[in-house]
Structure 1
Amino acid sequence: MAFVFSYSFRRITAQLLVGNGVAELSGLADWLAAHQQWLAFIIGLIAFAESLALVGIILPGVVMLFSAATLAGSGVLDVWSMLLAGFIGALLGDGISFLLGYKFHDRIRGWWPFRSHPEWLNQGETFFDRHGGVSIALGRFIGPIRPVIPLVAGMMGMPARYFFIVNVLSSLVWAPVYLLPGYFVGASLHWKDHLPVEWLVATTVLLFIAVYAAYLCRYLLIKISADKLYRTGFLTALIYTIGISVLAMLPAGMELNTYMFDHTYSLHTPLLDKLFSAVTATGEFFPTFGMFLFALFWLGLDALHARNRAAVMNFFVYLVIALALKGTFEGMKLLYALPRPEPALSTSFSYPSGHTACMIFLTLWPLWYIGRYLSDRYKPWLWSLGLFIGLLVGESRVYKGEHWFVDVLGGFGLGLSFFMLWLIWENKHPLALSRNNFYWRLGQLAIFCAAVVYWT
């Protein structure tokens, strides 16, 4: 069965990538477009089998998922249904694997194929011993041990509630990572509203900047003290913001804005319109206000747990810094009084981008908070994710014509400046840290992220 699925989807992908193959598959594509639930079911089934112990070891799941996602991207299935199917399949596959390990324990060593290949379980146990509960999330993206980590977690007696919290959170990340590349390939090759190469390159550059900045920060923390790094980072971000603010008033700044606006407008497609509308919606008032309240919720729990003056002060300092950020960019808008681009729906002034400033601050904070529970080697992953989300929102503002390019540059510097202010404070007054709260915090973050996605 695995071979038949693999062969079929490889053949479909090969045909999709050849011009004549589109005509040959038009009948299949039309039928699946009218019966979308079948492709969604197939994607969920592949994700389930690829995540299931024993089956996932021999199944070419990555190839099959890419092929199915490519077909979905050709117009057969919408992106949200595809991601939901992959999420549910991965969630169930890992969940059943864990329950098998939890129930049968060492008896699994006598099952085929583990009795012939005991090293598969041994590698999983070594990885689990080294990384603990985080291995559930990390193991999803490491091929050789991918299908056995949930099984090993059950065998080694990991508490079920912790496993399922991490399982839900990591499945939310796993589905887009494994499915979106194929979906975008199908969309860019076969939809009239394809993805321009320029936007793919620009987004890749933003991802590189986020990853490079996060790992540079980790490297500098080894070389110099955290206090010195954060103070230097604050001054650098502040000077950068001042420089961009000057540029915004100069003719050169408007020339740059006009060039970027004209070039961006020429790259609009219906697909990108949908994607960037969803991205920019995360920076609207209600999602950002929710992120702000969520941070206060965590800080409030810390204050109740620690019951000391420092923990209470952290709550109020975060409140003051966040409100000061809001007041600063609103005041700058009134001070500069620069008009927005012609297509903008908002009637407020343009410089700087409040969406970008808020999202840089608000997305970096919870991922920095979660990173405190992890070893230093994993923290840059979270930092880069938070920074990338903020940069992506900035990119969406330029694409939608809601802000000039220089507005986004200024918003980035402003948000980073205030985040560095928080790091300076927190470094002198560390948050209370209880290892027992880690999985609860992950679960709360997963629920909150799901709520934001649903809202937008």
Structure 2
Amino acid sequence: MSLADTLYQLTPSPALLLLIIAAIALMESLALIGLLVPGVILITAAASLAGHQEIALSAVIAVAFLGAVAGDGMSFLLGYTQRERVTRLWPLARHPEWLARGARFFRRYGSLSVFFGRFVGPVRPMVPMIAGMLHMSPRAFTWANLASAALWAPAYVLPGYLLGRTWQQLLGLPEGIETWLVALIVLLVVLAVVFSWLRQQVTRTGRLYRLAAVGARRHPVMRRFWLVQSWRGQGEVPLASWLLLILALGSLSGWTLLVIQQQGPLAIDLRVNQLFTALATPGLERLGQVLARVGDRYGVIALVLPWGAWLLWKRHLAAFVHISAGLGGIALLNTLGKALIGRDRPGTPDYLAGSLAYPSAHASTAVVVLGLAAAFIARELPHHQRHWVYWAAILLAVPMALSRLVIGVHWLSDLVGGALLGLVVCALVHLAWQQKARPSLALCPWWWLGSASLILVSARVAWLPPV
């Protein structure tokens, strides 16, 4: 049974889907948890599934309303009864600025802050708890809670619900294909959320990092390893990079064995290929061809050339060598992988004649370029802002990889193998970089270099043929 078959079988029943929407609305409104959960994305996806299954709109709005009311109510009760303990709870103990931001909002708007706060992202989960901590009248809070939830529920549910009711007609998909598209979207969202959560948890401020530190101290060998890595990393063990290396390398090995044993496309490859054939439009194919040129050899050179020149000019030789090693390493591994696996492409245009499929060089190179860029940028930012950089890298890498399916030159499993190979190289380069203290790159003229890269890439797309 393929992964997509499994996901399709796991599609929730109408009753379970309503329960999931209520739970998402509750978590989105719940103090502390709401700060960490991408509620807007999740509730839009769940509402879209509800619209696709033609569940009554009134029921979807009702459960979202009840979940939002319960979440704010529980947050208020937490602040009301645990006023002195709240500031010592994780993650507020490490991020007191979140509580301060909500308190400023409450002082500014008073009782109306409960109503307005539900629609203001950064303070939404904090205001009800702060209202409880400041002993706002429970009666006044209840009315504000009910009124704001009555407006919030349809505002957040309707866009996703309407999308679920109309997207099959808008795209003109054949009957039966839509389940595979839903499965693919759900899989990508889940993987992105899990990756973002794990990355946050294995940094110094994360709970998994602290648990690993406690466990390492109990074993002499692990304690010695932990101390050495901590000393090299200026007080922080690069646990995120080690975990990424172990998980990506293990997944790459297992996935490659699966591809070799299959001796042809996997079942999910055929289904996804059918899906993208059904989705094909002239505009989408043109976009795929543009992204193909952006991600090929000339495109990558055009993209990284300004940054490499700046690193050399400023004598950041270590950064230049590490990034060059990552790009050279992924090019070599792609060549070796294609030669060893010897897998044919689903379609081979003239400019790819003689080129093999697994792993996808576009996917792996995009992951290395964007992953290393995100890692270097994130090191210059506070911990609580770093996840935005990684999300941006994911949002750029996914379309680059999927463009290979749009133009029909790769199977889905080629993209998975390429992405995993790229993550392995990213982890290795980052681990090598973290072996000693490095100078800050904070003075890098990001906007000027980014503009130069955009100009060069645009010229490459306009004037040079694909390779």
Give the TM-score taking structure 1 as reference length: 0.52
Contact conserved, 2:365 with 2:422, CA < 8 A, in 1? yes
Question: For 1:216, which of 184, 187, 198 is the aligned residue?
Answer: 198
Contact conserved, 1:334 with 1:349, CA < 8 A, in 2? yes
The residue aligned with 1:235 is 246
Contact conserved, 2:196 with 2:390, CA < 8 A, in 1? yes
Work out the CA distance in 2 between the residues paired with 1:247 and 1:253: 10
Q: Deviations over 1:170-197 (max 9, x none)?
A: xxxxxxxxxxx9xx99x97998889996
* Structure 1 segment 266-285 matched on structure 2, within 5 A: 266-285=278-297
The residue aligned with 2:260 is 249
How many Å apart are 1:219 and its aligned residue?
1.9
The residue aligned with 1:296 is 308
Contact conserved, 2:171 with 2:279, CA < 8 A, in 1? no
Q: How has the CA–CA distance of structure 1 residues 434 and 233 changed in structure 2, closer, same or farther, with 3 Å as cutoff?
A: closer
Q: How has the CA–CA distance of structure 1 residues 235 and 190 changed in structure 2, closer, same or farther, with 3 Å as cutoff?
A: closer
Contact conserved, 2:363 with 2:415, CA < 8 A, in 1? yes
* Structure 1 segment 48-447 matched on structure 2, within 5 A: 202=184, 206=188, 209-221=191-203, 222=206, 223-224=208-209, 225-251=236-262, 254-256=265-267, 257-301=269-313, 304=315, 311-342=316-347, 344-345=349-350, 346-347=352-353, 348-433=355-440, 435=442, 437=443, 440-447=445-452
Q: Deviations over 1:14-72 (max 9, x none)?
A: xxxxxxxxxxxxxxxxxxxxxxxxxxxxxxxxxxxxxxxxxxxxxxxxxxxxxxxxxxx
RMSD: 4.0
Contact conserved, 1:356 with 1:412, CA < 8 A, in 2? yes
Contact conserved, 2:288 with 2:406, CA < 8 A, in 1? yes
Instruction: Give, as a single letter, the amino acid of the residue that structure 2 aligns with 1:420.
Output: A
Work out the CA distance in 2 between the residues paired with 1:406 and 1:420: 21
Work out the CA distance in 2 between the residues paired with 1:384 and 1:249: 32
Q: How has the CA–CA distance of structure 1 residues 192 and 356 changed in structure 2, closer, same or farther, with 3 Å as cutoff?
A: closer
Work out the CA distance in 1 between the residues paired with 2:297 and 2:173: 30
Work out the CA distance in 1 between the residues paired with 2:457 and 2:433: 27
Contact conserved, 1:230 with 1:424, CA < 8 A, in 2? yes
How many Å apart are 1:450 and its aligned residue?
5.1
Work out the CA distance in 2 between the residues paired with 1:432 and 1:391: 31
Work out the CA distance in 1 between the residues paired with 2:169 and 2:456: 32
Instruction: Give, as a single letter, the amino acid of the residue that structure 1 aligns with 2:246.
Output: L
Work out the CA distance in 2 between the residues paired with 1:433 and 1:276: 37
How many Å apart are 1:231 and its aligned residue?
1.7
Work out the CA distance in 2 between the residues paired with 1:358 and 1:245: 18
Work out the CA distance in 1 between the residues paired with 2:430 and 2:436: 10
How many Å apart are 1:343 and its aligned residue?
5.1
Q: How has the CA–CA distance of structure 1 residues 324 and 344 changed in structure 2, closer, same or farther, with 3 Å as cutoff?
A: same
How many Å apart are 1:367 and its aligned residue?
2.9
| Structure 1 gap segments, 5+ residues each | 1-122, 128-141, 145-180, 305-310
SS of 1:250's equivalent?
helix
How many Å apart are 1:237 and its aligned residue?
0.8
Work out the CA distance in 1 between the residues paired with 2:310 and 2:376: 9
Instruction: Give, as a single letter, the amino acid of the residue that structure 2 aligns with 1:351.
Output: Y
| Structure 2 gap segments, 5+ residues each | 1-100, 106-119, 123-159, 210-235, 462-467
Work out the CA distance in 2 between the residues paired with 1:226 and 1:338: 39
Q: Deviations over 1:352-409 (max 9, x none)?
A: 1000000001012223322233222221111111123222211111221111111111
Q: How has the CA–CA distance of structure 1 residues 408 and 434 changed in structure 2, closer, same or farther, with 3 Å as cutoff?
A: closer
Give the TM-score taking structure 2 as reference length: 0.51
Identical-residue share of aligned pairs (%)? 18
How many Å apart are 1:201 and its aligned residue?
7.4
